[in-house]
Chain A
């Protein structure tokens, strides 16, 4: 989690700010009125705002959804329209992931979710069997209930957003 700096703006609201890995600094001004401003600092003059976007409360909620890795919500919204209660999610495995076979995770018994595909180096292993291994850097495709997918993500130590 990057470090977030907080500055009080008396009479206006609060500003939160963080530095990105690439060097840019980005801030969010949260006004008392509920409006938000996303600001990007000037590389030339670090005290000044170079660009900004003003968002209403609803727009900032939508923006947070888009940014917040809630892939579940976005994809599931489309899918659940077809099959009630069934969800699919793409789960990238972290680099420090320890290889494990699907059988060893006991995923289906413990979470009710199933791995329906493993994507590795641009190719997919569709319908993997219990003996198939998941490796660090793979993306696994899960199917299950919404809660089941979240539980499976926790089991694999990946973030389901």
Chain B
């Protein structure tokens, strides 16, 4: 990157303007993200915290001065959110949604109560508005399915006994997001109380309808857009998601919610292959989204938010660990598995940032972006590290007791 810092101005001085500058800047951002992702892989961490750091370095007044790409990055970030939510909806089959709900509704409820309340309480103690506190509750509640699924795969824990419990909790969290997002989006837009209520009710009704259609009825939307050609399917599914997201945004329901609905309403083979086709696009634009998100934040504000973020991280890491422990215990898992289940749930990531964006763009609370960034920076790193060392930690603290217990 230091090499780039020297090259870019030189090339620009040679007369590159307009297109040249835009290409250089976009390329530079992507290369920086590539370097960060490479580093993340090397040290075995999630790239999300490193992407956030990249954004902090690249923002205006940071190391570089990006000016030509504002529009691209802004639109790219929007597409990133749409893709994150679309994929979330696509990744589960209706049977998986219902199965998880039936099997783990209790664990899901414990998870919601234990991890939403700390955020809500912190928000209120900080003197934020109740609505801002509800946003912070969402930020502390939602674990990162992306980070967790990757950690489970990397550590070879997909076959572990506690994994179905962990995955079921993640599915329920994602389902809760389907209901939570339209509510807070409706509330955040504000306006007269009656119009707010109508907006929320309409959004919820649409979510309920999409869930119902997806679970009860065969996959109408999926069959409509199904195509053998990857190209046709890619354009259809992405086009549909963007159109619905745009329409939702125009109706002041939030683009993210619209995209999520499309993801839920499409199931079957279209959803399967669609998810495969969209995964690299999601990675690309989600990276841009993280960068853009940090552009909206003053780095000094993150430093100021750090003590509170740390306290929040400690409390909510503990509540997540308890949630996993409790759920795994109910599923008849041994002590070591309970600790693994608890620690793996600690990671927060993409959706905490999505919620923070929703709060920021609707001017719910000026400090929420910085706090969410610091919070995610901490837990996206601590979560995977904690779970990697879950077994040695258990052995150390519980010692021989666990060995005899599980033999």
Task: Check A48–B163 contact: CB distance below 8 A.
Answer: no
Closest Cβ–Cβ distance, residue B152 to chain A (whole Å): 8
* Interfacial chain A residues near B38, Cβ < 8 Å: none
User: By CB atoms of chain A within 10 A, which of B159, B168, B272, B403 has the most?
Assistant: B159
Task: Check A37–B158 contact: CB distance below 8 A.
Answer: yes
Per-position contact with B for A11-34: 1 when CB-CB < 8 Å, else 0? 110010100000000010100110
Task: Check A10–B167 contact: CB distance below 8 A.
Answer: yes
Q: How far, in angstroms, from A127 to B231 measured CA to CA in the complex?
A: 62
Q: For residue A50, which residue of chain B has the nearest CB?
A: B156
- Picked from A10, A11, A39, A45, the residue with its CB within 8 Å of the CB of B159 is A39
A137 at interface, CB cutoff 8 A: no
- Picked from B159, B272, B337, the residue with its CB within 8 Å of the CB of A15 is B159
Closest Cβ–Cβ distance, residue A31 to chain B (whole Å): 8
A150 at interface, CB cutoff 8 A: no
- Picked from A17, A37, A47, A52, the residue with its CB within 8 Å of the CB of B337 is A47
Q: How many A-B residue pairs have CB under 8 A?
A: 79
B204 at interface, CB cutoff 8 A: no
Task: Check A11–B167 contact: CB distance below 8 A.
Answer: yes
Q: How far, in angstroms, from A7 to B332 measured CA to CA in the complex?
A: 15
Q: How far, in angstroms, from A6 to B159 measured CA to CA in the complex?
A: 11
B249 at interface, CB cutoff 8 A: no
B388 at interface, CB cutoff 8 A: no
On chain B, the number of residues with a Cβ less than 8 Å from chain A's Cβ atoms is: 32
- Picked from B156, B164, B167, the residue with its CB within 8 Å of the CB of A52 is B156
Q: How far, in angstroms, from A17 to B160 measured CA to CA in the complex?
A: 11
Q: How far, in angstroms, from A10 to B167 measured CA to CA in the complex?
A: 6
Closest Cβ–Cβ distance, residue B96 to chain A (whole Å): 4
Task: Check A32–B403 contact: CB distance below 8 A.
Answer: no
Task: Check B336–A47 contact: CB distance below 8 A.
Answer: yes
On chain A, the number of residues with a Cβ less than 8 Å from chain B's Cβ atoms is: 22
> What's the dominant secondary structure at chain A's contact region?
strand
Task: Check A47–B167 contact: CB distance below 8 A.
Answer: no
Per-position contact with A for B149-192: 1 when CB-CB < 8 Å, else 0? 10000001111111110011011000000000000000000000
**B residues touching A (Cβ–Cβ < 8 Å)?**
91-92, 96-97, 99-100, 145, 149, 156-164, 167-168, 170-171, 272, 276, 333-334, 336-337, 340, 391, 403, 406-407
> What are 29 A-B pairs with beta-carbon distances under 8 A?
A7-B164, A10-B97, A10-B99, A10-B100, A10-B164, A10-B167, A10-B168, A10-B170, A10-B171, A11-B91, A11-B149, A12-B158, A15-B159, A15-B164, A29-B158, A29-B159, A33-B276, A39-B156, A41-B159, A44-B403, A44-B406, A45-B336, A46-B161, A47-B161, A47-B334, A47-B406, A48-B157, A48-B391, A49-B156
A41-B159, A47-B406, A49-B157 known, 14 other contacts, Cβ within 8 Å: A8-B96, A9-B167, A10-B100, A10-B164, A10-B168, A11-B92, A15-B159, A27-B159, A47-B160, A47-B161, A47-B333, A48-B160, A48-B161, A48-B340
**A residues touching B (Cβ–Cβ < 8 Å)?**
7-12, 15, 17, 27, 29, 32-33, 37, 39, 41, 44-49, 52
